[in-house]
Structure 1
């Protein structure tokens, strides 16, 4: 099995299960920077393909890991990229009380360092070293 780095697919909790066509066949997550195969039409994350190619001792980079075709050619697929980024996800702080749901495209804005999710941990601005939920920071500093 090839180890995939942290920049593989999207690890968010999706509101609805993503269609199989969006899921990378290496990391089994909705594909980030999706590439489509010519041989069998499966989707892979670009970073997963890069990791697979670096692991030449484990697999060769000329054989498709799904259909085993030796005609393993991939190309970026912008349509699948747009569709994956339009899927709805929950905030990564859902378990801490955040009720936000939105497209993958907008979660970075929701979690932004300045004025983002109220349930996100931020460093105390008074320098005590504690991590506090953004919504409790003013009370903590006072």
Structure 2
């Protein structure tokens, strides 16, 4: 069943939708740290990309281990939503709760394609068109051959000569063009095809007032219906009463939902509300211890760097001091040599005079 494509009788509340896929929750899981709820497949896919909550980025370092099943009440609310049968397009008029839909399709829906009851036929047909009951596993094989009739066997209509399916033989009589029917009320004759349309407009047929569901007891020929409805007090109040009925139905549905929630809460154990809080508190304690450990390691690294920098500065000062002393000695030697050259040059000048 493709649950994402189901049509709902009433629009579900936003709180029942997954914040990732924006579809109704399927196998809901709840994060232990921040209590957000997601579909199991959605949170699994999100955590495979990044270990954090998709909504508030809360770290989830243990992945799926940081998730737990959502409260059973939430899944019950989703399962109790009324949906239309997926085979409504084929004619199924049933509305059923979401949780019972798979059983309706498996066991009861008349518009599901099922194998033909005849074991020699490999075709499929609607369940309603299968002539024999399929639950005959305990029957003898000879009885099975006698009872089962292939739904795809064709026959010829004895009135119009058209070829029709055996399973549709009786319904064909209602629309056979060769048969004529007499109207019970006006005694006019029509073909089977036209009779259905005539019944909708026959002026002699007794009908109820259009406000019959509101309490009007008028039941006369259709020809007198317009004059009656023009003066019918129930008919004039019908728009207002219909609006009130819609509001009442909505309130009854809301009241039933609230009663179910209260009942579910009353059945919960008293200490169930504190256990998630204690679990979350322990998670925070583990995170705080982890952060303290990281801070201590960072402080140790900073202290080691400070010691290394101080040692480097000391070595650099010694190197500069040694280099300065060597430069000072070389400068003294240069000054001594320059003084000796000056004395020799002065002595040379005195001799030349």
Structure 2 length-normalised TM: 0.33
Mapped contact 1:23–1:43 kept (Cα < 8 A): no
Distance 2:97 2:122 in 1: 33
1:97 to 85, 91, 101: 91
Aligned to 2:3: 10
| Residues 1:124 and 2:116 are matched in the alignment | yes
The structure carrying a bigger strand percent of its residues is 1
Matched, 1:107 2:101: yes
Q: Secondary structure at the match of 2:3?
A: coil
Q: Aligned partners of 1:70, 1:90: CA distance in 2, in Å?
A: 40
2:16–2:24 Cα contact (<8 Å) kept:
yes
Runs of 4+ in 1 over 4 A off after TM superposition: 38-41
Distance (whole Å) between structure 2 residues aligned to residue 43 and residue 23 of structure 1: 9
Contact 2:46 2:54 in 1 (8 A): no
Structure with larger RCO (C-alpha < 8 A, sep 6+)? 1
* Aligned position for 1:30: 24
Query: How much has 1:97 moved relative to structure 2?
Result: 0.8
Structure 1 partner of 2:55: 66
Distance in 2 separating the partners of 1:46 and 1:70: 18
Q: Which moved more, 1:36-45 or 1:21-30?
A: 36-45
Distance in 2, Cα, partners of 1:10 & 1:41: 24
Higher share in helix:
2
Q: Distance in 1 between matches of 2:68 and 2:13?
A: 20
RMSD: 2.4
Q: State the shift of 1:111 in Å.
A: 0.9
What is the TM-score normalised by the length of structure 1? Answer: 0.75
Any stretches of 5+ residues in structure 2 without a counterpart? Answer: 132-150, 154-165, 167-353
Please state how far the C-alpha of 1:36 moved relative to its aligned partner: 2.4
> Which of 1, 14, 33 is matched with 1:20 structurally?
14
| Residue pair 1:10, 1:31 contacting (<8 A) in 2 also | no
